[in-house]
Every structure is written in structure tokens, then in C-alpha cells.
Amino acid sequence: MKSVNDSVPILREAASILLSMNGSSNGPTKRLSKGSILIIDDNFALREALHTVLRLLPGMTVYTAANGHEGLQIVQQQHIDLVVLDLNMPEMNGEQTYLNLQQIAPEVRVIISSSLSQHEAQLRFRERELPAYLRKPYEIDALLSVVQAEMVITSVHTHQSLGYSSSAMKRRKE
């Protein structure tokens, strides 16, 4: 299986996976509508590979930042629905970035991305709940599944804040 850390060789495979899922009613491209994703990772190759893969999702706008400071600036300037956040970065690590992000935009969903085990990552968050988690290196399918799940949650929260009930949302989908 190919992982996102294999970068360039998997981009064609990712495109073909996304295109094949597009024809399926169960694929992420059918479930996702518009949205914006911010990738905050100090690893240039990984950041660019994620950008390339995620921008293939129809209706998605994808931003990138090389560190927490850049990421927080983008969140203040753009509407962001979801952040894929590296935990281990210089200057401002992922935990510090997450805490700042929660202060300025608590509605933004976050996926923590790290080579640490989920247990080790949870220890870094102490008493706080660990957001969605992807352990590096991760498979394209795992990335797309977690992104899809988080964007669905974002969509539900958006509809609820606009006053739609779940039954109204179900009728709208039909």
C-alpha cells in the first residue's frame, strides 16, 4: 500500500482513486460539497502532496502553511472548515497551534497528523480531547476517509447553525 509520505509517486494513484470514487455513490466526492482545508506541516514534500491530493476533491479550496504562525494567519484571513495539523513542528508546535486555533476559530475541525502513536499524542494533549488523528505515514484512503468524516461533521454543524433540522436536511438530500 502506498502512503502519503511517498509523495510524488502516489499522486497519479490518488487521482485515479478519487476519479473511481467519484462514480460511486459511497465515495467522498459524492458526499462532500464545498469546503476549505488548511494543511499546516513543516515538511514541504508532504504538504505539497497533501495539497495536490485534496485539491482533487470537487468544491474544495486547499491552503497550505509551513508552520503554526502562517496557519493561524490564514485562519484569520480565510474561511477554513478543516485543518490538517502536524504535531511536531519547530517554532510553534501542533499542540500550541491547536490551542491558538481553538481561541480564534473554535468551530474549525482539526485532524492531527503525527508519527507519534495516538497514545503518545494524547499524552501531549493532557486533559484535552485529542481531535481526529492520522498516524504518519498514512494511506491515501485513510486520509480521504478522515477528511470526509470531518467535513460531514462541519456540514452538519453549519446546517444546524443555519436553523435546519436533521429531518429537513434528510429531505433536502432526497
- Look at residue 22 and tell me whether its pLDDT is greater than 70: no
Q: What is the pLDDT of residues 45-98, one digit of tens each?
A: 999 999 999 988 888 999 999 999 999 999 999 999 999 999 999 989 999 999
CATH number at residue 128: 3.40.50.2300
User: What pTM did the predictor assign?
Assistant: 0.75
Provide the domain count of the chain: 1
> What are the start-end ranges of the H helices in 63-139?
68-77, 94-104, 118-125
Higher pLDDT, 15 or 53: 53
Sign of CA dihedral 152, 157, 161, 163: positive
The parent domain of residue 81 ranges over: 4-173
- Give the number of other CB atoms < 10 A from CB of residue 25: 7
* pLDDT value, residue 155: 65
| Mean of per-residue pLDDT scores for the chain | 77
The CA distance from 154 to 127, in Å, is 24
